[in-house]
Amino acid sequence: MKIVFASTPGQEEEICGLVRYIYSTVFPLYFTDKEISEFEQLKVLHTPDDFNTLKDAFQVMASMQTVISILESPTLDDQYAALFNKNVTTLQEFGLFFPFEFEQFVEAKNLKNSVFSIYIKAANELLV
């Protein structure tokens, strides 16, 4: 008999929060609003209804956090490529669609100049 622990609602909320963070903070550094909108339609990083076990949820969270850390680094060195690809593979194994290669982000970083995006969270809010 094997005992497994199901993922918790808190973990699932954390994963959804990481997905929102990628869309609102990471993707605008590399892609246009139109491209990000297309990613939403393609259900990039769309999470399954639930993860089977506690371990699965932790692996997904760790992989997402690693990908975020790599993509937020000031320079995308080739030394990160293998680690990035390993974590993307882990995400895909758990049913998250992430159709990007490391080289796409390197190229996009070189082409993208402005950081104005409708996906970026506002730095402040106007109170009326």
pLDDT, residue 126, reads 58
Low-confidence ranges of the chain (pLDDT < 50): none
Report the C-alpha gap between 31 and 49 in whole angstroms: 27
Classify residue 19: in a domain, yes or no.
Answer: yes
Answer whether 0.85 is exceeded by the pTM. Answer: no
Q: Please check whether residue 122 lies inside any domain of the structure.
A: no
Residue 4 covered by a domain: no
Has residue 40 been placed in a domain? yes
For residue 81, what pLDDT is reported?
95
Helices (H), 53-101: 54-72, 81-93
Would you state the torsion angle of the CA atoms of residues 69, 71, 73, 75, taken in this order, to the nearest 10 degrees? 150
- Give me the pLDDT at residue 125, please: 61
User: What confidence score (pLDDT) does residue 128 get?
Assistant: 52
Q: Give the pLDDT of residue 123.
A: 54
The number of folded domains in the chain is 1
Q: Which range marks the domain in which residue 25 is found?
A: 9-111
Q: Does residue 124 belong to any structural domain of this protein? A: no
Matching residue, tokens 């390993």: 86
Say if 128 falls within a structural domain: no
Buried b (16+ CB within 10 A) or exposed e, 105-122: bbebeeeeeeeebebeee
Beta carbons within 8 Å of 37's beta carbon, 6+ residues apart: none
Measuring CA to CA, how many Å separate 41 from each of 16, 52, 113? 17, 25, 24
| Domain assignment present for 91 | yes
Six-digit token pair at 98? 């992430």
Residue 119 included in any domain: no
